[in-house]
Amino acid sequence: MKTIGVLTSGGDAPGMNAAIRAVVRTAISLGMNVKGIKRGYNGLMEGDIIDLDIRSVSDIINRGGTFLYTARSPKFKTEEGVMEAVENCKKFGIEGIAVIGGDGSFKGARSLSNHGIPCVGIPGTIDNDISYTEYTIGFDTAMNTAIDMVDRIRDTAQSHDRCSVVEVMGRHAGYIAVQTGIAVGASAILVPEIKTDINDVIEKIKNSSTTGRKHFIVVVAEGVGGVEEIAKAIEEKTGIESRATVLGHVQRGGNPTVRDRVCATELGNAAVHLLSQGIGNRVVGYKDGKLVNYDIFEALNMKKEFDFDMMRVAHETSI
Ligand code: ADP
Ligand code: F6P
């Protein structure tokens, strides 16, 4: 391949810029040219495509967000949308694409690969909910932001002898909630993967009260939701004043941590090595801590086991 493209798609994640940088620098090191495709598949359909050189990606390894912008592009799910994208690949001489995003973006990458544009997917989402890989770019930064925020909430919860119910991101997955919950010593963690009876949470808080605890943190994944109602129920049934906080998009921003910068660099580099050999329709990721790549179709059909043992650890250490 002489020329490859790079795009970011779906929700942004800290570390996406580091991944773009790795794609660009690796491609140039291997003698290829790189085009930056703006706003995900929208830019590919609309021809919003720029040349990238070594210096285009200077000073972005440390920055959150994505300098190529990102989007959700419903039109790209149609045959018409894919054909427009394929036409633009031909027009701009793009022979392969590194797609940085989540499961949805990889389905788009599969469509392009099926239409003769080899694509390699790089996992980027704060949710860490992509089945085939142990880690996705942005997860570590998002959790570090979340624990920083919850630590602040704890200060005020402690001062007022309150219970704080905090919603963290994860529309379909509780990975952020579990690890954040453990890291802040939450009294309870509620995730979409496990049905929890609010009365069990209330009982646990009551029991902890009897051993002298006066303030509490409950971490709730976005996919469970209802933090206001949960706080109200806790207050009514325990008599402990309770407050609800939704952390929201603060978790998606900020400078990437060392883990996200290094993973993004490693994954971006690996994706380009595949493309440089003409290999597409693949995704890169981690298994047992090692870099792996899989066929996209195979990867999209894999199932990720929720780490129930982490919930046990959280439960046993938060009495
Ligand atoms: P993520 O990549 O984070 O999972 P989305 O699910 O929003 O985010 O997907 C991002 C984009 O990927 C969508 O807006 C769409 O353009 C493309 N996409 C998603 N699903 C498909 C699909 N089944 N076929 C083709 N493209 C898809
Ligand atoms: O997938 C990442 C994520 O941040 C989810 O945790 C959240 O539910 C969703 O994106 C929010 O998406 P947006 O506000 O960008 O539509």
pLDDT for 150-162, tens place per residue?
Answer: 999 999 999 999 9
CATH 3.40.50.450 fits 3-138+256-300, yes or no: yes
Tell me the pLDDT tens digit for each residue of 222-232: 999 999 999 99
Q: Does domain 139-253 have CATH number 3.30.460.10?
A: no
Distance CA 2, CA 21 (A): 18
Contact call for residues 222 and 230 (beta carbons, < 8 A): no
**Is 12 part of the annotated catalytic residue set?**
no
Helices assigned H by DSSP within the chain: 16-29, 41-46, 79-92, 103-114, 139-160, 175-184, 198-210, 227-238, 258-276, 296-300, 308-316
The model's pLDDT over 18-48, given as tens digits with 9 standing for 90+, comes to 999 999 999 999 999 999 999 999 999 999 9
* pLDDT score recorded for residue 227: 98
Average pLDDT over residues 134-143: 98
Same fold, 3-138+256-300 and 139-253: yes
Centroid of ligand 1 to alpha carbon of 103 (angstroms): 7
pLDDT of residue 319: 86
Whether 171 is in the pocket of ligand 2, judged by its Cβ within 6 Å, is yes
Q: Is the CB of 11 under 6 A from ligand 1?
A: yes
227-277 confidence digits (pLDDT tens): 999 999 999 999 999 999 999 999 999 999 999 999 999 999 999 999 999
Q: Which residue's CA is minimally distant from atom 6 of ligand 2? A: 170
The residue to mutate among 70, 169, 178, 246, having the most atoms of ligand 2 within 8 angstroms of its beta carbon, is 169
Are 119 and 164 contacting, i.e. CB atoms less than 8 angstroms apart? no
Q: How far is CA 178 from CA 50, 105, 121, 171, 279, in A?
A: 40, 25, 26, 14, 36
Domain boundaries, the chain: 3-138+256-300, 139-253
Closest CA to 4 of 135, 130, 109, 123: 109
Mean pLDDT of 114-128: 97
The active-site residue out of 12, 103, 127, 260 is 127
What is the pLDDT, as a whole number, of residue 305? 86
| β partners of residue 120 | 98, 282
pLDDT for res 314: 94
Instruction: Work out the pLDDT band at 93, boundaries 50, 70, 90.
Output: very high
Closest ligand to the CA of 14: 2
Question: Does residue 139 register a pLDDT over 90?
Answer: yes
Flag whether pLDDT at 170 surpasses 90.
yes
pTM (2 d.p.): 0.97
State the closest ligand 1 atom to the C-alpha of 125, by its place in the atom list counted from 1. Answer: 3
Over residues 120-141, mean pLDDT: 97
pLDDT at 105: 98
Instruction: Give residue 78's pLDDT band: very low, low, confident or very high (50, 70, 90).
Output: very high
Q: What is the pLDDT of residue 120?
A: 98
